Amino acid sequence: MPTKYYIIYIQIVFFLHLRYGQAQVLYDFTAEPGNGELTVKEGETITITNQSIGGGWIEARNSHGETGLVPEEYVEVSVCVSQSCVPISVCFLRSSWSLHSQTSNGNDPWTAWNSDTSKNLASVRNSWMSTDQEHPQAYQGHVTYNCRFPGFSKSGPELYLLAKMLPKGKEKISMGEVGPVWLYPEVQMECLVADPKKGSKMYGLKSYIEYQVTPSTTNRPVNHRYKHFDWLYERLLEKYGSAIPIPSLPDKQVTGRFDEDFIKLRMERLQSWMSRMCRHPIVSNSEVLQLFLNHQDEKDWKLGKRKAEKDETVGVMIFSQIEAEAPELGLDEVERKCESFSRFTKAMDDKVKDLLAVGHDHWKRCTGPLPKQYQKIAKAFQNLSTVFSSSGYQGESTLTDALTATGKTYEEIATIISEQPKKDLHFLVETNLEYKGILGCFPETITVHKAAIDKLKDADKLVATNKISPHDKPVMAKRVSNMSYALQAEMNHFHSNRIHDYNRVMQFYLEEQVKLYETIAGKLRAALQQYTTL
Amino acid sequence: MPTKYYIIYIQIVFFLHLRYGQAQVLYDFTAEPGNGELTVKEGETITITNQSIGGGWIEARNSHGETGLVPEEYVEVSVCVSQSCVPISVCFLRSSWSLHSQTSNGNDPWTAWNSDTSKNLASVRNSWMSTDQEHPQAYQGHVTYNCRFPGFSKSGPELYLLAKMLPKGKEKISMGEVGPVWLYPEVQMECLVADPKKGSKMYGLKSYIEYQVTPSTTNRPVNHRYKHFDWLYERLLEKYGSAIPIPSLPDKQVTGRFDEDFIKLRMERLQSWMSRMCRHPIVSNSEVLQLFLNHQDEKDWKLGKRKAEKDETVGVMIFSQIEAEAPELGLDEVERKCESFSRFTKAMDDKVKDLLAVGHDHWKRCTGPLPKQYQKIAKAFQNLSTVFSSSGYQGESTLTDALTATGKTYEEIATIISEQPKKDLHFLVETNLEYKGILGCFPETITVHKAAIDKLKDADKLVATNKISPHDKPVMAKRVSNMSYALQAEMNHFHSNRIHDYNRVMQFYLEEQVKLYETIAGKLRAALQQYTTL
Q: Which of B391, B398, B427, B534 to mutate to test the interface with A (most CBs of A within 10 A)?
A: B391
- How many other CB atoms sit within 10 Å of the CB of residue A52? 8
The 10s digit of each residue's pLDDT in B398-438 is 999 999 999 999 999 999 999 999 999 999 999 999 999 99
Quick one: pLDDT band at residue B247, thresholds 50, 70, 90? Answer: very high
Percentage of chain A beyond pLDDT 90 is: 57
Q: Which chain B residue has the Cα nearest residue A366? A: B370
Distance of CA A151 to the CA centre of its chain: 16
Q: Do A524 and B514 touch (CB under 8 A)?
A: yes
Cβ-Cβ contacts under 8 Å for A36 (sequence gap 6 or more): A68, A69, A205
Please report residues of A whose CB lies closer than 8 A to that of B353.
none
| Predicted local confidence at residue B54, as pLDDT | 63
Amino acid at B389: S
The 10s digit of each residue's pLDDT in B21-68 is 788 888 778 887 666 788 888 888 888 888 777 666 788 888 888 888
In this prediction, residues B70-74 reach a mean pLDDT of: 77
Q: Which of A336, A515, A528 to mutate to test the interface with B (most CBs of B within 10 A)?
A: A528
Considering only CB atoms, B354 lies closest to which of A380, A398, A520, namely A380
Q: Which chain A residue has the Cα nearest residue B510? A: A528
Question: Is the predicted pLDDT of residue B143 greater than 80, yes or no?
Answer: no
The 10s digit of each residue's pLDDT in A84-142 is 333 333 222 222 222 233 333 333 322 222 233 233 323 323 333 333 333 333 223 22
Q: What is the DSSP letter of B252?
A: P
Considering only CB atoms, A503 lies closest to which of B379, B514, B534, namely B534
Rounded Cα distance, A327 and A324, in Å: 8
Q: Do B532 and A377 touch (CB under 8 A)?
A: no
| Predicted local confidence at residue A69, as pLDDT | 83
Binding-site members of A are: 225, 227, 266
| Predicted local confidence at residue A534, as pLDDT | 55
Q: Which chain B residue has the Cα nearest residue A179? A: B393
Cβ-Cβ contacts under 8 Å for A232 (sequence gap 6 or more): A288, A289, A292
How close does chain A come to B417, measured CA to CA in Å?
Answer: 13
| Predicted local confidence at residue A20, as pLDDT | 52
How close does chain B come to A210, measured CA to CA in Å?
Answer: 33
Helix (H/G/I), strand (E/B), else coil: B202: coil
How close does chain A come to B210, measured CA to CA in Å?
Answer: 33
Quick one: pLDDT band at residue B78, thresholds 50, 70, 90? Answer: low
Quick one: pLDDT band at residue A25, thresholds 50, 70, 90? Answer: confident
Rounded Cα distance, B91 and B84, in Å: 12
Q: Do B351 and A384 touch (CB under 8 A)?
A: yes
Q: Which chain A residue has the Cα nearest residue B390? A: A344
Q: Do A506 and B402 touch (CB under 8 A)?
A: yes
Quick one: pLDDT band at residue B256, thresholds 50, 70, 90? Answer: low
Q: Do A373 and B383 touch (CB under 8 A)?
A: no
How close does chain A come to B99, measured CA to CA in Å?
Answer: 42
Please report residues of A whose CB lies closer than 8 A to that of B514.
521, 524-525, 528
Q: Which chain A residue has the Cα nearest residue B491? A: A393
Question: Is the predicted pLDDT of residue A11 greater than 90, yes or no?
Answer: no
Q: Do A387 and B348 touch (CB under 8 A)?
A: yes
| Predicted local confidence at residue B113, as pLDDT | 24
Cβ-Cβ contacts under 8 Å for A458 (sequence gap 6 or more): none
Domains belonging to chain A, first-starting first, are 2-89 (2.30.30.40), 106-155+327-534 (1.20.1270.60), 166-326 (3.30.1520.10)
How close does chain B come to A393, measured CA to CA in Å?
Answer: 7
Q: Of the ranges A18-22, A211-215, B128-132, which one carries the lowest mean pLDDT score?
A: B128-132
Higher pLDDT, B186 or B90: B186
In this prediction, residues B122-133 reach a mean pLDDT of: 32
Percentage of chain A beyond pLDDT 70 is: 78
DSSP-assigned letters across all residues of A263-274: HHHHHHHHHHHH
Among candidate residues A162, A190, A50, A181, the one with its CA nearest the CA of residue A100: A162
Please report residues of A whose CB lies closer than 8 A to that of B393.
178, 492, 495-496, 499
B227 is in an annotated binding site: yes
| Predicted local confidence at residue B445, as pLDDT | 93
Q: List phi, psi (to 5°) of A205.
A: -70, -35
Quick one: pLDDT band at residue A268, thresholds 50, 70, 90? Answer: very high
Rounded Cα distance, B66 and B42, in Å: 17
| Predicted local confidence at residue B164, as pLDDT | 81
Q: What is the DSSP letter of A172?
A: E
Q: Which chain B residue has the Cα nearest residue A350? A: B384
| Predicted local confidence at residue B102, as pLDDT | 31
Q: Give the pairing type, strands A67-71 and A75-81.
A: unpaired
In this prediction, residues A326-344 reach a mean pLDDT of: 95
Q: Which of B353, B393, B424 to mutate to test the interface with A (most CBs of A within 10 A)?
A: B393
SS3 content of chain A, % helix, strand, coil (to 5): 55, 15, 30
Rounded Cα distance, A338 and A342, in Å: 6
In this prediction, residues A256-269 reach a mean pLDDT of: 83
| Predicted local confidence at residue A78, as pLDDT | 57
Please report residues of B whose CB lies closer than 8 A to that of A399.
499, 502-503, 506
Please report residues of A whose CB lies closer than 8 A to that of B399.
499, 502-503, 506
Q: Do A499 and B177 touch (CB under 8 A)?
A: no
Higher pLDDT, A88 or B468: B468
Question: Is the predicted pLDDT of residue A335 greater than 90, yes or no?
Answer: yes
Q: Do B517 and A520 touch (CB under 8 A)?
A: yes
Q: Which chain B residue has the Cα nearest residue A374? A: B362
B525 is in an annotated binding site: no
| Predicted local confidence at residue B26, as pLDDT | 80
Higher pLDDT, A292 or A258: A292
The 10s digit of each residue's pLDDT in B324-347 is 988 999 999 999 999 999 999 999
Quick one: pLDDT band at residue B300, thresholds 50, 70, 90? Answer: very high
Contact A313, A334 (CB under 8 A): no
The 10s digit of each residue's pLDDT in A342-381 is 999 999 999 999 999 999 999 999 999 999 999 999 999 9
Tell me what ipTM this predicted complex has: 0.73
| Predicted local confidence at residue A494, as pLDDT | 97
| Predicted local confidence at residue A255, as pLDDT | 56
Percentage of chain B beyond pLDDT 90 is: 56
Q: Which chain B residue has the Cα nearest residue A532? A: B503
| Predicted local confidence at residue A183, as pLDDT | 92
Please report residues of A whose CB lies closer than 8 A to that of B382.
none
Contact B495, B340 (CB under 8 A): no
| Predicted local confidence at residue A258, as pLDDT | 66
The 10s digit of each residue's pLDDT in A438-490 is 999 999 999 999 999 999 999 999 999 988 899 999 999 999 999 999 999 99
| Predicted local confidence at residue A322, as pLDDT | 92
Considering only CB atoms, A532 lies closest to which of B351, B380, B503, namely B503
Considering only CB atoms, A392 lies closest to which of B340, B380, B496, namely B340
Please report residues of B whose CB lies closer than 8 A to that of A394.
177-178
Q: Do A506 and B178 touch (CB under 8 A)?
A: no
This prediction has a pTM of 0.72
Q: Which of A339, A346, A364, A383 to mutate to test the interface with B (most CBs of B within 10 A)?
A: A383
Q: How many interchain CB pairs under 8 A, A with B? A: 180
DSSP-assigned letters across all residues of A368-384: THHHHHHHHHHHHHHHH
Cα→Cα distances A402→A406, A528, B45, Å: 6, 8, 56
Q: Of the ranges A232-236, A405-409, B319-323, which one carries the lowest mean pLDDT score?
A: B319-323
- Average pLDDT along chain B: 80
Q: Do A362 and B377 touch (CB under 8 A)?
A: yes
Please report residues of B whose CB lies closer than 8 A to that of A524.
510, 513-514, 517
Quick one: pLDDT band at residue B87, thresholds 50, 70, 90? Answer: very low
How close does chain A come to B69, measured CA to CA in Å?
Answer: 46
Contact A270, A193 (CB under 8 A): yes
SS (H, E, C) A7-65: HHHHHHHHHHHHCCCEEEECCCECCCCCCCECCECCCCEEEEEEEEEECCEEEEECCCC
What B423-426 contacts at long range (C-beta under 8 Å, 24+ apart), as own/partner pairs, is B423/B512, B423/B516, B424/B508, B424/B509, B424/B512, B424/B513, B424/B516, B425/B359, B425/B362, B425/B363, B425/B366, B425/B509
B266 is in an annotated binding site: yes
Q: Which chain B residue has the Cα nearest residue A387? A: B348
